[in-house]
A = this chain, B = another copy of it.
Amino acid sequence: MRELPHPSADNITLAQLMHALSDPARLEIVERLAEGDETCTAIGTGIELHKSTLSHHYRVLREAGLTRTTVDGRTRLIRLRRHDLERLFPGLLDAVLRAVRSQSTGRPSAAR
C-alpha cells in the first residue's frame, strides 16, 4: 500500500483546482469518484480515451490536490480528498459535484 506524491493541503491552489476541473473527461472521472473510491480501469471503462491519456488525467487530478492515489499491488485506488478540500474550501467540492451531476443528467445537450 504505497503512496504516490501528493501536494500537501497547504499547497493546493484554487486556480490549479479549477484547471483540473476544466476538462470534460476529468469532470466525468470526478463524477464517478463521487460515488466512491475506484481503481483506474474501473474509472476508465466507458470513457473512450487511450489509457495513457487517462493516466495523464489521473495525474492532473492528483497534482491539483483533488484526488489521492494509493498503490495496492499492481492496481491503484483513487479517491477524492473530500476532507482536505472541505477544510480548505468549504462547500466547493460539494457544489462542483452537484453541478457536474446536474450537467450530465440534466439537459440532453450534454457537454463534450
Contacts and interface: CB of A to CB of B under 8 A. Distances in A.
A28 to B, nearest CB: 10
A103 B19 contact: no
A90 B103 CA distance: 12
Interface stretch (A8-16, A34-42, A51-59, A73-81): A8-16
Nearest to A110: B13
Contact of A24 (B15, B27, B102, B103): B15
A89 to B, nearest CB: 4
Interface size class of A (residues with CB under 8 A): 20 to 34
B102 A98 contact: no
B107 A10 contact: yes
Interface centre among A94, A96, A100 (most CB of B within 10 A): A96
Given A90-B95, A91-B95, A95-B89, A100 B23 contact: no
